[in-house]
Amino acid sequence: MPPPRVSDGFKVCWEVELKHIDGSVLMFNDWKGGASTRFDGSTDASSDGLKLLNFLIGLKCLHTYDGIRAGIMA
């Protein structure tokens, strides 16, 4: 996992861009507990990215902003 980009640490606690082995790119971040994604690439990489996002959201982790569950807007 690459290190996250520097953010303000309050409303945006992390942002990361991942590159699939085939060169496809998945970028996602979290703003006040709401997940945001952007994808550009192949169908296979899209499937892999969706599996990753479902795994991360399925953990029901608490967000640093107001202690809400990650993936839910504050």
Each residue's pLDDT tens digit, 6-51: 666 667 777 788 999 999 999 878 777 777 888 999 999 999 998 9
Give the count of beta carbons closer than 10 Å to the beta carbon of residue 5. Answer: 12
Q: Considering its fold, how many domains does the chain have in total?
A: 1
Q: Which domain holds residue 48?
A: 1-74
Residue given tokens 């640490």 in the structure block: 9
> What does the pLDDT read at residue 42?
96
* Per-residue confidence (pLDDT) for residue 43, from 0 to 100: 93
Give the pLDDT confidence score for residue 10 in this predicted structure: 67
Give CA–CA dist 27/66, Å, rounded: 24
In which band, very low, low, confident or very high, does the pLDDT at 68 lie, cut at 50, 70 and 90? Answer: confident
Mean pLDDT of all residues in 48-59 = 81
